[in-house]
């Protein structure tokens, strides 16, 4: 503006003022309804845990090796648990996302007749346990499978 310019107030009619007020109110409602004002949800770090399981050669080729564990993604200690996929004879694998810092325990079963993992001497194997400290691989070698039974709860 030059030194000789005159600034004149803008004349707004009452209906134009009402329209602007409604527009501003509507924009605020839309933004609030979209969650633009709310903080983002909390995130919890997870890690990829791979299971690499070596099984006895007498494991049926069509048998399903199952991890039944304490975390919900492993069945929450109930059947059916988490099914591993067969890579080749004697080798099964699978991966799940688990919370970092979680203490996890699990047992292995062959689901065809719910046969539990046993030691080489034929004794029940205690549950496997580990702590999720980041992406990791859990390696297990099964000595033998037990007799068919009822399986996990």
pLDDT on residue 151: 80
Quickly list DSSP for 45-98. -EEEEEEEEE--TTS-TT--EEEEESSGGGTTTSTT-EE-EEEETTEEEEEEEE
* Cβ–Cβ under 8 Å, residues 131 and 104: yes
pLDDT on residue 30: 59
- CATH number for domain 46-145, candidates 2.60.40.10, 3.40.50.720, 2.40.30.10, 3.40.30.10: 2.60.40.10
Segment 60-71, tens digit of pLDDT: 989 899 999 999
Q: pLDDT tier at 18 (50, 70, 90 boundaries)?
A: low
Q: pLDDT tier at 90 (50, 70, 90 boundaries)?
A: very high
Most confident of 4-8, 102-106, 145-149: 102-106
Segment 22-50, tens digit of pLDDT: 666 665 655 555 555 566 666 679 999 99
What element of type H or E holds 34?
A: none
pLDDT on residue 8: 58
Q: Can you give the residue ranges of every domain in the chain?
A: 46-145
Global pTM reads 0.70
Q: How many residues does the chain have?
A: 153
* Cβ–Cβ under 8 Å, residues 127 and 105: yes
């Amino acid at each position: 503006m030059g030194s000789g310019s005159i600034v004149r107030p803008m004349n707004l009619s009452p209906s134009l003022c009402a329209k602007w007020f409604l527009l501003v109110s509507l924009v605020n409602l839309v933004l609030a309804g979209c969650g633009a004002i709310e903080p983002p949800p909390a995130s919890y770090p997870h890690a990829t845990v791979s299971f690499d399981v070596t099984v006895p050669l007498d494991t049926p080729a069509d048998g399903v090796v199952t991890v039944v564990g304490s975390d919900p993604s492993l069945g929450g200690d109930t059947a059916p648990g988490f099914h591993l996929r067969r890579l080749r004879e004697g080798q099964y694998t699978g991966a799940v996302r688990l919370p970092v810092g979680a203490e996890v325990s699990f047992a292995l079963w062959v689901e065809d007749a719910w046969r539990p993992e046993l030691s080489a001497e034929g004794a029940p194997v205690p549950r496997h346990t580990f702590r999720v400290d980041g992406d990791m691989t859990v390696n297990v070698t099964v000595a033998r499978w037990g007799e068919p039974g009822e399986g996990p709860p």
